[in-house]
Each structure stands twice: as structure tokens, then as C-alpha cells.
Chain A
Amino acid sequence: MGNRCAVIGVGQTRYTTKRRDVSMAGLVREAALRALEDAGLTFKDIDAVVIGKAPDLFEGVMMPEAYLADALGAAGKPMMRVHTAGSVGGSTALAGASLVQGGVHERVLVVAYEKQSESNATWALSTHLPFSASLVVGAGGYFAPHIRDYIRRSGAPGHIGTLVAVKDRRNALKNPYAHLKIPGIDRKMVESTPMLWEPIRYLETCPSSDGACAMVLAAESAVTGTPAWLHGTAMRSEPIFRAGRDTVSPRAGIDCAADVYRQAGITDPRRQIDVAEVYVPFSWYEPMWLENLGFAAEGEGWKLTESGATALDGDIPWNASGGVLSSNPIGASGLIRFAEAAQQVRGLAGDHQVDGARTALGHAYGGGAQFFAMWIVARERP
């Protein structure tokens, strides 16, 4: 895995539908300054900047890294942009970490953002090319058949999705940065919202958010403050069109998890991981990823969700922060998972802190469930 690397600073903006008060530059800078402040550093202490965001078509800004270099103190420093669709936040953290692990830099600032209010993601994800007749409308339209297939294969009862929708939003009430705050949310409320892409109801989907997240990653010799140590980092991808591809439990996700667990010495994720921040943009993806990530056997993930094991007071809390279901600045959503995992093991997660969390998983996926990025962070040095 290369040289030791730690998260030493985390900064987030409050996630909301429209940040009318800041430009994209102002938005990323806000997160970056908070991460630097957390690390007790300034831009001068940073060797390189890695920025990530989802497709350029979301805001219509091509090569945003060029525009945002000044806002991120990157003048005269190496800067690069990462793009792996929805998983980009995770990939951005890993691209930044690799610069430290490879001994290239001592301190790297990683930032990811989305200002969804500048356009409409469903439009940007539904660009209908000539000659085709694809009738997929937005991410929900794409993922709904996979969820339906999961329900058929696992025999999960229909209410499992609503349990996750409620659990993650209740967690969000404890997170000052979370976008959706729905006091009193319950299953009845979720079930009363319309089916958008059956079997996905309105409140089983993620919101559209503006927001940015940043982290300072450091080599062992450059650690300041409270570190969260990286114990494993892995990325995998797979072609979206491949015969026999399992869209419910993609091979790339299974392989990515196996790799990151091997590096971190994890053989029983449910027992050895204390808290997980997993990319769940539609509620049913919790049981699906519980299986894909090896927390439950195939077809058994929904039972873990139903038992309350993934709740904040369960034995393996998933998305204590409220997750993507509560805040979704798409490009940043993966980085937020990675950052929240780090905050948990740093003991700095605030009201949604999981007591005694020592080892955490950060996870992101993107594209047609074909790009995966994961890391394991821990309180102890590897």
C-alpha cells in the first residue's frame, strides 16, 4: 500500500438545495478552508491539490480544475481533476492518497463538489443520443430495474426500502451539515410519497444538493492534529455492457471490497468494522451493498437492515451521518462518505459519533454501478 497516509483535516459545507450566496469557487474554498483549519494548516502547507466532481454537463463548466485552481490555493502547484461519475468523491480521495502513499507529496488537499442547482442532473444524465431509443430517465430510472431484481432474487419484503429511508433521515437530524431534515419521519410518511420509478418512492431517493467537502491527507512525517490512518485503499471498475454482468451485485464491487479488506486485514467486515459510510442514493441499495460488501450473505442483506443492525445503535451502523439519502452534492457525495468514516475514527463526528469507533469503511459507487472506490480508516497506525 506504500507509505503511511492519514487524514488530518476534514471540511464540509452545509448541504442545501441552493447555495445562492456563493459561486462554485466560493463553495469549494469554504470546504477547503475548513479542512485546513481542522489540520491547523494554511494553503502554504499544501503540496498538491486533487479535485473531483461528477460530469461537466451538470454545471456546464468544462475543466473546472482550471477555473478553481486559484480558489484552492493551487497556483504554482500540481493540480489534477478526477472523474468517475458518482464514485468520483471516493476516487478523488484515493488519487490524493496515492500521491502521499507513493512518496510524491507530503500533504495533499482533496476537494470534491457539486452545485446541482446550476442545472438539472436528471437532464444531464438523460442525453438521448440519435439512433437509440433508450427510455431511461435519470439515475432512478436506471437503477429501479436493478432494485426490482434484488427484491425478486432475495425475496425481501417490500417495506425494507422504507426502513432505510427513515433510518438515514433520522441520523441526518444529528448531522449539522445534512441537507434533508425531516423531524418525525416514519414509515407511513415514506409510504405516502409517490412512486417515481417503481419500486422507488420519492422519499426513498436522495435529494439534489449544493455542497463541497475537502480533506487534508498527510504523510506520517507531516501529520498534525488528530489523524485517521489509511489501512486500505482500492478502486475497481467494470464495463457497463458485458454478458453475464450482475447488475445487482457487481463483480467490481466484490473485488474492490476483497482488495481493501485484504490490505486492512479484515476477514469479517461486520465484526471488524465499527461503522460504515456507504453510498446509498436509493434506500434499497443498503441491503444490496450489505451483500456486495460481505456484511451479509447473498439474499440476507435485507434481514440485517430489518433487524436494526445498521441503525446508529445497531452493531454495525451504516451511514450515521444520514448518508447520500440525506445530502447529495453528487461529485462530493463519495468524498463525504470517506470523510465521515475518517471523522468517526478521529472521534470528531459530533452528535452522530458511534461510540468507540476505531475502524471505518468509506465507500462510493458510480456510473451504472460500475465504478467502485473504498477505503478503510482506523484510529491506530497501520
Chain B
Amino acid sequence: MPSEPPAARHVLEFPGGYTRTTGPVIGRFLSELRARRIVGVRTAEGRVLVPPLEYDPGTGDPVTGEYVQVGPAGTVTTCAWVDEPLEGHPLDRPFAWALIALDGADTALLHAVDAGNPKAIATGTRVWPVWSERPTGNVTDLSHFVPEVTKIVAPVRAEYRLRAGGALGVFLAGVERGVLLGGRCQSCEKVYVPYRLSCPECGTAIGEPVELPGTGTVTTFAINNLPDPRAPQVPFVSAYILLDGADIPMIALVGDVPAHEVRHGMRVRAVWVPTEERTASMTNIRWFAPTGEPDVEL
């Protein structure tokens, strides 16, 4: 059985690094980069090469001495997504290699685009340069490109303090002790719940609150299949419940019954949370549950 041949690591690295004399064309390009500008050079035929070359690859002629500022933005002409960056890549997170036609250039520049995800870049995407923090006159002064700004996040926050005064205060005081309070219009006799101070139909003032029982009838409902953090499960039923003695339904959750067994005309009763958990809020009513009485004809 042959044994493993001996192996040794060997490094060839010129101490301090090789130098490169840039010549005037590349030197100008790098100097401009250090000043956070991108230039191309014009060929005798009039094309603008970016990055600049000393000799026109098309004709072999020397380029002219005319430098043209291009970009700084450009358009991606094609790209390839790198899911797992390798050592030596310009970015340590997934990025795109892209050919970028900088504005005013006749050739495309190969560079890295920090696009976040592959859906954020395609042929035609506009990109802008990101410069290294300390330019030194090296090609890495142009760190990478990023997609053009097309959207910003505008946080808007309005914070209110709601005081449950007036009629709502009266109603919630009732809810806190486990009673639903309505109000009877003195003119049209309709009973409104929650308690309110004037009749929306005729405008007449409403007098003293009247206690309503916690029982009522489902007049109609929706079976919601979209989750909601306040709903016990999906599906959940939100129903119009006409409390006994009231003339206007209230919208509430129906529970203790499978969603598809809820019916028009079903008799229900409020299920209150235990006394010690009650606050001045409608969350005191967990939901309405069937009473078991026969359905009501609507």
C-alpha cells in the first residue's frame, strides 16, 4: 500500500507587495477615484472607455488625452448572483457581479452590487457607487455599487390619549360591573347600545341609561379565516348580535360553538371574564355563546 507522499506548504509573496507603475492613463483614473470621481478616457474614434485603457483594444492606437467624467450612476447590463461569497470577493454577504454601463461611458465596468437579494437587481437596474471610507488611490476606493434609491421608509406615528368620558364612560362603568347599558330615545323610543347621549335618527337627547340583559340573537355574521391576534382561533365568527330589548345590533365574537354551526337567529349569551379580571373595557366579554334556546325567526 503506497504511503502518502510528504507534503509541505509553500508561499510565494514578494515582501511588501509588488509595485505597479501606473503610467499616465491608469494613474489619472486612480487619482480621480481617490477624489471620488470616475473618469473614462476617449479613444481616437471618440468612444469613452471605462475603466480607461492606455491603448484602444479596437485599433491598437493610443487613447487621446481627454478624460471624461462618467457616472457616478450607471445601468446594469447583465448580472450574476453570488449566494456564498468567497474570500477575496469585494463583499462578505451575498451580492451580484454586474456589468455596469456608467452614464456617459461606452463600455461596461464589472463590479459588485450590494443589492440585498437577487430580486432587487436585473438588467436595467440603476446603481450608484459606494466609496471606501479612506480612499488611497487604489481601485478598491470604489468599494461597490448599490441600487438607486427608489423608496424610503417614512415612519409616521400619532399617539393619542383617549379619555372615555361622557356616554362612553357611563357604558364602560357598566361593563366593568358586568352590565350592558343602553339608552332609549325619548322621541322615537329606539334603544341604542352602547349608551349614547343623542339619537342618530332624530337627534333627540337620550335620557338615563337602561340595563340590557346579556342575551340576544345573532342577526348575521362572518366566518373569518384570516388570523387576528385578538381572536381565539381561526376560523372565528364575528356576528351582529341584537341584544334583547335593543334596537341596534352590536358586533361581537361568537364562541363555544364550531364556526360552521353558527346560524342566523341563534340565541346567544355574553360570556364574561371572571370578576377579578374585569376592567373598563369590552374585552370583559370573552364572546357570546349559544344559550341552547330555539332559533328566532328573523
Contact: A195 with B223, CB < 8 Å?
Answer: yes
Which residues of A, 238-272, contact B by the 8 Å Cβ criterion? 239, 241-245
Per-position 1/0 for B144-157, Cβ under 8 A of A? 00000011001010
* CB-based contact A145/B239 at 8 Å: yes
| Per-residue B-contact encoding for A36-75, CB less than 8 Å = 1, 0 else | 0000000000000000000000001000000000000000
With A135-B231, A243-B247 as contacts: A129 and B222 at CB distance below 8 Å: no
Interface contact A242-B220, CB-CB below 8 Å? no
Query: Does B162 make an interface contact (CB < 8 A)?
Result: yes
**Bitwise interface map of A from 136 to 163 toward B, beta carbon under 8 Å scored 1, else 0:** 1110110011101100100000000000
Instruction: Knowing A131-B280, A133-B282, A135-B251 are in contact, say whether A149-B156 is a contact too (CB < 8 A).
Output: no
With contacts A130-B281, A195-B223 taken as known, whether A141 is within 8 angstroms of B264 at the C-beta atoms is no
Residue of B nearest to A138 (CB): B226
Q: Is residue B224 within 8 Å, beta carbon to beta carbon, of the partner chain?
A: yes
Bound together, the chains give a CA A198 to CA B150 distance in angstroms of: 38
Partner of A196, one of B225, B236, B247, B281: B225
Contacts of A146 in B (CB 8 A): 220
Residues of A within 8 A of B151 (CB): 20
CB contact under 8 A between A198 and B225, given known A129-B162, A135-B251: yes
A131, B222: Cβ atoms under 8 Å?
no
| A197 interface residue (CB < 8 Å to B) | yes
A134 in contact (CB, < 8 A): yes
Would you call A242 and B222 a contact (CB within 8 A)? no
Q: How far is the CB of B189 from chain A (nearest CB, A)?
A: 9
Interface presence of B252 (CB below 8 A): yes
- Asked if B240 is at the interface (CB within 8 A of a chain A CB), the reply is yes
Is the pair B224, A141 in contact by a Cβ cutoff of 8 Å?
yes
- Find chain A residues with CB under 8 A from B238 CB: 135-136, 141, 145
Nearest residue (CB) in B for A126 is B228
Given A141-B238, A195-B225, A242-B200: A131 and B282 interface contact (C-beta under 8 Å): yes
Q: Does A194 contact B (CB under 8 A)?
A: yes
Q: How far is the CB of A377 from chain B (nearest CB, A)?
A: 34
Determine if B253 and A197 form an interchain contact, defined as CB atoms under 8 angstroms apart.
Answer: no
Tell me the complex Cα distance, A241–B190, Å. Answer: 12
Q: Could you tell me the distance in whole angstroms from the C-beta of B61 to the nearest C-beta in chain A? A: 42
The CA-CA distance from A136 to B226 in the complex, in Å, is 11
Contact present for A132 and B223 (CB under 8 Å):
no
1/0 contact trace for B22-64 toward A, CB 8 Å? 0000000000000000000000000000000000000000000
B222 & A145 in contact (Cβ 8 Å cutoff): yes
Q: Does B123 contact A (CB under 8 A)?
A: no
Given A135-B253, A242-B200, A244-B247, the answer on whether A145 and B282 have CB atoms closer than 8 Å is: no
In contact, B230 and A128 (Cβ under 8 angstroms) = yes
Partner of B224 from the list A20, A60, A137 (CB cut-off 8 Å) is A137
Q: Within the assembled complex, what's the spacing in Å between the Cα atoms of A183 and B240? A: 38
* Contact with A197, one of B150, B224, B252 (Cβ below 8 angstroms): B224
Interface of A is mostly: loop
Contact call B221/A130, Cβ cutoff below 8 A? no
Q: Which residues of A contact B78 (CB under 8 A)?
A: none
A149 to chain B, nearest CB (A): 4
Chain A CB within 8 A of B73 CB: no
Q: Could you tell me the distance between the alpha carbons of A130 and B159 in the complex, rounded to whole angstroms?
A: 12
Determine if B219 is an interface residue (Cβ-Cβ < 8 Å).
Answer: yes
Cβ–Cβ contact B282 & A242, under 8 A = no
Q: For B236, give the chain A residue with the smallest CB separation.
A: A135
Residues of A within 8 A of B264 (CB): 148-149, 152
Is there a chain A Cβ closer than 8 Å to B168's Cβ?
yes
Q: Nearest chain-B residue to A244 (Cβ)?
A: B247
Please, which residue of chain A has its CB at the minimum distance from the CB of B188? Answer: A243
Contact with A along B215-253 (1 / 0, CB 8 A): 000011111111010110001101110000001100111
B150 close to A239 (CB less than 8 A):
no
Chain B hits for A129, CB < 8 A = 162
Inter-chain CA distance A196–B234, complex, in Å, is 11
Q: Which of B154, B191, B247, B251 contacts A134 (CB 8 A)?
A: B251
Q: Are B240 and A145 in contact (CB under 8 A)?
A: yes
Report yes or no: B223 in contact with A198, Cβ–Cβ below 8 A: yes
- C-alpha gap A137/B231 in the complex (Å): 10
Cα(A195)–Cα(B225), bound, Å: 7
Chain B residues whose CB sits within 8 angstroms of the CB of A195 once the complex forms: 223, 225
Q: Is B96 an interface residue (CB 8 A)?
A: no
- Judge whether A243 and B190 touch: CB under 8 Å: yes
Say yes or no for B164: interface residue by CB 8 A criterion: yes
Contact B220 A152 (CB under 8 A): yes
Distance A138 CA – B224 CA, assembled complex (angstroms) = 11
Pick the contact of A135 from B201, B220, B252, B298 — CB < 8 Å?
B252
Least Cβ distance of A151 to chain B in Å?
10
Q: Which residues of A contact B251 (CB under 8 A)?
A: 134-136
Q: State which of B191, B236, B253 has its C-beta within 8 Å of the C-beta of A133.
A: B253
- Given the complex of chains A and B, what is the CA–CA distance between A239 and B196 in angstroms? 14
B159 to nearest A CB, angstroms? 12
**20 more CB-based (< 8 A) A-B contacts, given A241-B200, A243-B188, A243-B247:** A130-B164, A131-B164, A131-B168, A131-B172, A131-B282, A133-B230, A133-B252, A133-B281, A133-B283, A135-B224, A135-B238, A137-B226, A145-B239, A152-B264, A195-B223, A196-B224, A196-B225, A241-B248, A244-B247, A245-B248
B-side interface residues toward A, CB under 8 Å?
Answer: 150-151, 154, 156, 162, 164, 168, 172, 188, 190-192, 200-201, 219-226, 228, 230-231, 235-236, 238-240, 247-248, 251-253, 264, 280-283, 285, 298
Interface residues of A (CB under 8 A from B): 20-21, 60, 128-138, 140-141, 144-146, 148-149, 152, 194-198, 200, 239, 241-245
**Can you list the 9 inter-chain pairs with the closest CB atoms, starting with the nearest?**
A144-B222, A198-B223, A133-B282, A243-B247, A243-B190, A149-B220, A60-B156, A145-B220, A239-B200
Q: List 8 A-B contacts (CB under 8 A).
A: A20-B151, A130-B162, A131-B168, A135-B238, A141-B222, A145-B220, A152-B220, A195-B223
